[in-house]
A = this chain, B = another copy of it.
Amino acid sequence: MHALNRRPAALLTTLLLSVVAAGPAQGQSGPPDELPAAQIRALTRERVPEALSLYREFLSLPNVAGYPEDILRLVEWMEFAFAERGFLTRRIPMKGSPLLYAERPNPAAERTVLVYLQADGQPVDPKAWLQDDPFEPVLKERDRLGNWQEIPWNSLEDERNPDWRIFARSASDSKGPMTQFMTAIDALNEIGFVLPYSLKVIIDTEEELGSPHLPEAVEAHGELLAADMQLIFDTPLHASNEPTVTFGARGISMITLTVHGPRVPQHSGLYGNFVPNPVFHLAHILSSMKSPDGRVLIPGFYEGVAIDDAVGEQLAAVPDDEAAILRQMGVARADAVAPSLQESLQYPSLNVRGLASGWVGDEARTIIPATATAEIDIRLVKESDPDRLVRLVREHIEGLGYHVIDREPTDAERRQHARLVTFTSSFAYNAFRSDFDSPPGLMARAGLEHLYGEEPILIRTIGGSIPIAPFVDTLDVPAAIVPTVNIDNNQHSPNENLRLGNFVEGIAMIMAVLSRTPP
């Protein structure tokens, strides 16, 4: 849709050779990890127009996980984009969409850094977006009433107000970070900067499906993916929007719960008071699982989590303005799982992300619904055994007197069991956590400290899930996350966006980290 500013092929070849070759490139002064902060800033500034056009083109490619044809087009686009930046690429076929692997080996370097990026996005409900097409990015500024108003894209030619935002699916999660990564590579390529390590990149195309095939792929391609450390450019910055390094993320399991009422919906008048309504059964199940103040009531759910003094200090050092977060969210009080936001994220969570029975609104009709369904996600922490938590939930429901099956009920089961639930679960990925002083942690902290002159915010565990555990656990590669996007980006929801200032700053952050010599 928007033409990439493609380099002539001859230049590309030269660049590729100069980059892959060992030793400092021409025109570079000082050791490679001493790229001055001012130069990083200058390179970033120059690159912004091209980066915005790349971003706009990338955002216009539909990427909803689970639409394999869209994902294949996306993979083709990325293969070209990475090849253009001096990478050798390879598709790793999987049962679903292929992973994309890219590398720039540096035979002279001792270390190998593996970077994880995500290409796919969450589903879209176009009706809920304030723009025609979530894959047609639009630029917006906030008016005096606080509402986002579209302004022409070419406004960016004259001005780049950091508070403007770009709205599109995956703007922040995670085409923004990938564009920033590609742009940082472009800038380093431009000055002939040789990365002081071998760089491997793995691009996930099923992250929003829970990366169902990734653990298997990591297992099968252990040698290809072997590295000394892993860096992840994904997830939002701390809510203060200040430079952040994150050392862990919660994992995720999902449960679908369907309570059965009558075989087909029944007239709510003819049978109301006689035919049981599955909604009330579902309400009893859900309300027995969690107290109104948000604590999971299933015994053992939080087992194993321990917050000692050292951890307590790490958590307390994060400068959260919880009152501001709650105000922004429009809620009066936080859940009572733990006394602080950071501490609450050290515990597994039980969330209902979707609920459906019968019809609501204009489509409502006076029936006793046949089923009532809850979609549940459990966020896991490093101390959680995912199978155990799902089992606890299942046993809890059985303990309430429900007959729990994993498929549609038979006639015989309907006759026999007045409380009947279909329970299916899937395990997406485990939590991971690396140390603040792990090699990727030291590299990321050094890069950001070099750029900003002070230590970034260090976060022990973010609440969200990224499929890093297979690398950490199976390949024994410690990991650190360098986030770049604003936390209020409506990630996973309609009207996802990225703040323009974050888009620009993230290029510099990633360049600062990539240009460090790893420990």
Contact = CB atoms under 8 A, between A and B. Distances in A.
A366 B353 contact: yes
Contacts of A364: 353-354, 375
A353 B338 contact: no
B372 A377 contact: no
B353 A354 contact: no
A16 to B, nearest CB: 38
Interface string A471-486: 0000000000000000
A273 B352 contact: no
A280 B287 contact: yes
A429 to B, nearest CB: 12
A362 to B, nearest CB: 7
Contacts of A345: 273-274
Interface string A407-424: 001010011111110000
A240 to B, nearest CB: 14
Interface residues of A, number: 107
B360 A356 contact: yes
B362 A66 contact: yes
Given A272-B463, A280-B287, A330-B262, A354 B359 contact: yes
A351 B272 contact: yes
Interface in A241-296: 249-250, 252, 256, 260-277, 279-290, 292-294
A501 interface: no
Interface stretch (A18-26, A29-37, A154-162, A488-496): A488-496
Interface string A132-172: 00000000000000000000000000000000000000000
Contacts of A331: 261-262, 275-276, 414, 418
Interface string A394-407: 00000001000000
A221 interface: no
Contacts of A433: none
A291 to B, nearest CB: 8
Interface in A163-188: none
A236 interface: yes
B363 A351 contact: no
A96 interface: no
B492 A367 contact: yes
A355 B353 contact: no
B275 A329 contact: yes
A506 interface: no
A273 to B, nearest CB: 4
B492 A267 contact: yes
A334 B328 CA distance: 46
A493 B275 contact: no
A335 B359 CA distance: 22
A493 B265 contact: yes
A265 B351 CA distance: 12
B279 A286 contact: yes
A123 interface: yes
A81 interface: no
Given A367-B353, A414-B331, A269 B465 contact: yes
A493 B351 CA distance: 31
A456 to B, nearest CB: 18
A273 B294 contact: yes
Nearest to A350: B272
A252 B280 contact: no
Contact of A282 (B283, B349, B362): B283
A365 B353 contact: yes
A373 interface: yes
A341 interface: yes
Contact of A379 (B269, B275, B363, B464): B269
A287 B290 contact: no
Nearest to A337: B273
B270 A463 contact: yes
A276 B356 contact: no
A97 B488 CA distance: 46
A314 B279 CA distance: 32
Given A264-B495, A283-B286, A366-B465, 14 more contacts: A122-B365, A236-B270, A250-B269, A260-B330, A266-B329, A268-B353, A269-B465, A272-B349, A274-B334, A280-B287, A292-B401, A331-B418, A353-B358, A353-B368
**What are the 7 closest A-B residue pairs judged by CB atoms, nearest first?**
A269-B464, A263-B330, A272-B349, A283-B286, A354-B358, A333-B418, A273-B344
22 contacts: A123-B363, A125-B359, A262-B330, A263-B330, A265-B490, A266-B329, A268-B349, A269-B464, A270-B491, A273-B337, A274-B345, A276-B335, A280-B294, A282-B283, A283-B286, A330-B415, A351-B366, A352-B369, A353-B369, A355-B358, A355-B360, A367-B493
